[in-house]
Chains A and B, each alone.
Chain A
Amino acid sequence: MTIAHDFAYLRPATVPDALAMLADHRGAMVLAGGTDVVPWLRDDAITPETVVDIKDIAGFDAIDVADGVLRIGPLVTFSDLIASPVAAEHVPALVEASHTVASVGVRNRATVVGNICSAVPSCDAGPPLLVYEAAVEVAGPGGERSIPVLEWFLGPRTQALAEGELVTGITIPLPGAHGGCYAKLSRYRGEDLAQVGVAVLALPGNDYRVAFGAVGPVPFRAPAIEERLAGGGPGDADPAALDALVDEAISPIDDVRASKEYRTHMSRVMLRRSLAAAAARLDGGGPPYGEQVI
């Protein structure tokens, strides 16, 4: 059914204009792709008095690399990322995750920044951005600041953005040579929200980064697992010990999508397979990016 809630619609052309509008209209909702915002409005899950559409802000749709940093603008959609040679070269695991987001008609609209602003525990961009050690660039009444993704997610649907602030982009320091993998547990091959998401980066010298999604209130890195893995090959760690570390790291829930038991079981399976795929990709082998390991 139709959106019953009344709100004002504003469309700034510049960041300062946008910040002024956000300052003038407390509680305003920022609109980019709208694939979350519009259904939330329909469900009365949000009832803002003002919606600020940022799609006219110049430069917000860019993906570029400068000074060893990849920058993703707030209007960059998952389709843009999938089509970007720069992204494929530098952040292939984020591109792999992008392929798993909904379907073409949604990816053409849904933005990467919007995905982490919505901050649902299952957000597909979360785990890859964590292993790529991205930062969220923010402008606000107090000026600009950069929030490491590690500190971004605060709880289900809650992130570190303060009142009046606007995300101006995501920055990722170029990771150099690496093998990456994003594995997503879904109920079938068609589009689904992740029941478990695992992102792994294998860096030269048997250095690994591991992040999980959908098995805790927020996507998170797993340092204990990374430490255990460090220095060895992907299959060197004792499987039982690794499973135990997974169990300690995650705090999955039972819901209509999956049970706690299955999420736990699959977190272990997916970590093993993602590690193997990431390590093989680092060596130039492994399954091509985009081919799911489960």
Chain B
Amino acid sequence: MTDTYVGKADEANAMETLGVIGKGTPRIDGLDKLTGAAEYVDDMDFGPALLHAAVVESPYGYARIKGIDASKAEALPGVVKVVTGKDFPYTFGMYMKDRYVFAQDVVRFAGEQVAAVIARDARTAKKAASLVEVDYEVMEPLLDPMKALADDAVLIHPDLEDYEHVPWFFPKAGTNIAHWRKTRRGDLEAGFAEADVILEDEYTVPRYAHCAIEPHVVVARLDKAHRLTLWTASQSPYTQRDVFAQALAPLGLSHKDIRVVTPYVGGGFGGKAGVSMEIIGAALATVVPGRPVKVRWTREQEFTNTYQRQGVRARIRLGAKKDGTITALEHDLYWDAGAYVEYGANVVNAAGLSATGPYRVPAVKIDSLCVYTNLPPGGPYRGFGYSEFHFGLESHITRMAQELGMDPVEFRKKNAIVEGDTLAYGEAMNPSGLIEAIDKTAAAIDWGVEETSDDPTKAIGKGLCLFWKAPAMPPNASSASFLKFNEDGSMNITVSGMELGQGYLTVMAQVASEILAVPPEKIRVETPDTDRNPYEWQTVASHVTWSCGNAVAAAALEAREKIYKVVHDARGYEEGSLYLEDEKVKCDTDPDFELPLAEFVVGGIMMPDGTYRGGPIVASGKFMPEFTSALSDPETSQGGHPNVHYTVGAAGVVIEVDRDTGKIHVKKAALAADVGRAINPVLIEGQITGGLLQGLATVLYEDMRFDAQGRLLNPTFTDYKIPTSKDVPDQIIPIIIETPQPDGPFGARGVGEHTMIAAAPVIGDAVADALGVRLKEMPITAERVALAVAGMDD
């Protein structure tokens, strides 16, 4: 691949008339998914040689392993092998190598893998796992990040200073602080001195679970030729390959030996990013060479031993002038990051760079602390830290407006960040339609119009909050694509982004379709296999439409140039006079000329003498944001360019609350997001509807609850309630704003995660509006509302 095609997306942007871009093109994976043809990892057949593994988990949050006796398990007929931490004394991790394949001498969370049994069938594996005897010395777990910060707190990772990590992390050896992101800009003291009102308070957000309906599953096989193949339900085939290669390097495995295949995946939401339980499959395969081995998480394990969204305690101090100008913000975020932070520390980092929210704040001090606790590992979850800090920040913004006697929407508009404003880390804000988003959302919920319920026991309230989010990526996170034409003029495109449900394959087909004038239904975009498909960092950060879209656009433009060159070579037309339309090459200067792609894109064009010109049209494209840098001053975060751009927007709700029961009914929810360019508006509306509901659930009823040992009390859908079809708002109004992103494909930027970010504060505001009760801890359950109204809360 050369650099020739970088930036060619700009050329695509300039195309004036668009065919499929901006249309609600039906998804290209529709038939697969509605007929049962779509194959997920657990649906794949591996034949009678397939082995099954069951994992022995720690029942304690913090304990020393004194001994493991696997003899009874090993004696059970059908058991092939039992492995423990002794067999795999390796650490792994994405941004920091602090996680163990199996616990070594210490377990750091309840649910951590201590041993595994490989057996010929799942039944035997389960039985045998229950026969493995582990002798623990139970220790007092640290479950609260504030306690873990105490001077005399036990060190959960005494070896912290030895862990390898990315250069933008700043662990504090001798403490439980795995990373501390400090952002400083402007004169904070002067900012607060200038303020007429200073408001300070604390907000609490608990942990949450992703709850993709497909549990994590991995099948791994090390064949006798030393080739390790993994079939994983994952968002991150290439990142997984990289992490596996690093972790298993002591066994002599390198990148070329490892192949990760990821067919359709049944939802991710961040939970299937990076590597969590898949490392177990990779490791187990190495002890049973030649045999595939499957590890499939139960729903309970899905809750307790993948990633969880981290809890956070926020302290906010905000200053503003009487005229409504924000003068200063101090925002401390104490993250309950869990036992291992190899991925979660980057959530902390992202929040620490952006915890001003989408506001112009002249003086900023943000401290975002990643604190080890004896709870399951925190990690990426749709919203990546932003959902968490927006709850406190947006609640606080509304309260400040009320303190100032201003309308909260007016206050927000006055301080809303616009293109060119300086971000907390010193760079300039990208183009943004935030004001338009606010106005349209306010109009959609009749902001300012008071409504009363017909039912005297109920009150109606409204809320409107803003959101923003940038992809959190390493500065060199990149995407690539391969494109090839088939004999009939159809195309196969290979990429390594994941179709998580968002419609990525369809969007990639639309991008290629637009440039090459081939309809999307004649394009297949294939799911990843790291042997065949080109590189993609991961499908996270809502970045693939933008990043991989650019890579596909680059490949399509390269293919187009090749097509023009063949026609030029064979027919003599100037390349500049050619264009593509309706699957044909046409010419500006010769209206009579047209050549269907199907006639030459593989076989070439025949010359008068019977010889041919051309040959199979194949192309590649790549994209990397070459302007980003994670290098900055650790004390201030000034000097780098960590984020590519922010997607902004607003959300509003109208709710009806029952004063007696506390039950909240969402009558209307509107959400406006500036997507740059809506490549497929139906898919964006799908993101808004689904994301909003996921966000509303985090504030209305979802909540992970732990006992004193750090054991999850509600590891099932029986008691971790995710929304059903009966729990949707009466009306959802999706609003698409299009302020083009100059470096995005056709001007597009990402929107997947953003749709859930503002849901929590907007409910908090609406409850306060309806009942005059301000709840500062999530979730805002019916129970909390009712007890607060009745004066029975503590």
Contact = CB atoms under 8 A, between A and B. Distances in A.
Contact of B781 (A187, A190, A261): A187
Interface string A1-40: 1111000000000000000000000000000000000000
A44 B781 CA distance: 33
Given A4-B126, A187-B781, A262-B787, A192 B721 contact: yes
Interface string B51-88: 00010000000000000000000000000000000000
A256 interface: yes
Nearest to A272: B660
Interface in B707-746: 713-714, 718-719, 721, 723-727
Interface string B127-148: 1001000000000000000000
A266 B786 contact: yes
Nearest to B704: A256
Sort chain A's interface into a size bin. Answer: 20 to 34
A43 to B, nearest CB: 9
Contacts of A163: none
B298 interface: yes
A77 B224 CA distance: 54
Nearest to B126: A4
A187 B723 CA distance: 10
B786 A262 contact: yes
B126 A190 contact: no
Contacts of A2: 122-123, 126
A265 B786 contact: yes
Contacts of B661: 185, 266, 269, 294
Contact of A190 (B123, B298, B721, B787): B721
Given A4-B123, A261-B787, A265-B792, A187 B701 contact: yes
A269 B660 contact: yes
Nearest to B697: A188
Contacts of A3: 123
Given A2-B123, A261-B792, A294 B663 contact: yes
A218 interface: no
Nearest to A3: B123
A265 B787 contact: yes
Contacts of A185: 661
Given A2-B126, A3-B123, A261-B792, A190 B783 contact: no
A183 to B, nearest CB: 10
A256 B783 contact: no
Interface residues of B, number: 33
A2 B714 CA distance: 20
Contact of A191 (B660, B701, B724): B724
Nearest to B784: A262
A145 interface: no
Interface string B764-794: 0000000000000000011100110010100
A187 B122 CA distance: 35
Contacts of A261: 787, 792
B705 interface: yes
A26 B298 CA distance: 32
A253 B721 CA distance: 20
Nearest to B720: A256
Nearest to B794: A261
B719 A257 contact: yes
B536 interface: no
A1 B54 contact: yes
B792 A188 contact: no
Nearest to A263: B783
Interface in B636-652: none
Interface of A: 1-4, 44, 103, 185, 187-193, 256-259, 261-262, 265-266, 269, 294
The 4 A-B pairs at the shortest CB distance, nearest first, are namely A190-B724, A189-B726, A262-B783, A4-B126
Given A188-B724, A189-B726, 6 more contacts: A1-B296, A185-B661, A187-B721, A188-B700, A188-B721, A262-B783
14 contacts: A2-B123, A3-B123, A4-B126, A4-B130, A44-B130, A187-B721, A188-B727, A190-B726, A191-B724, A192-B721, A265-B790, A266-B661, A269-B660, A294-B663
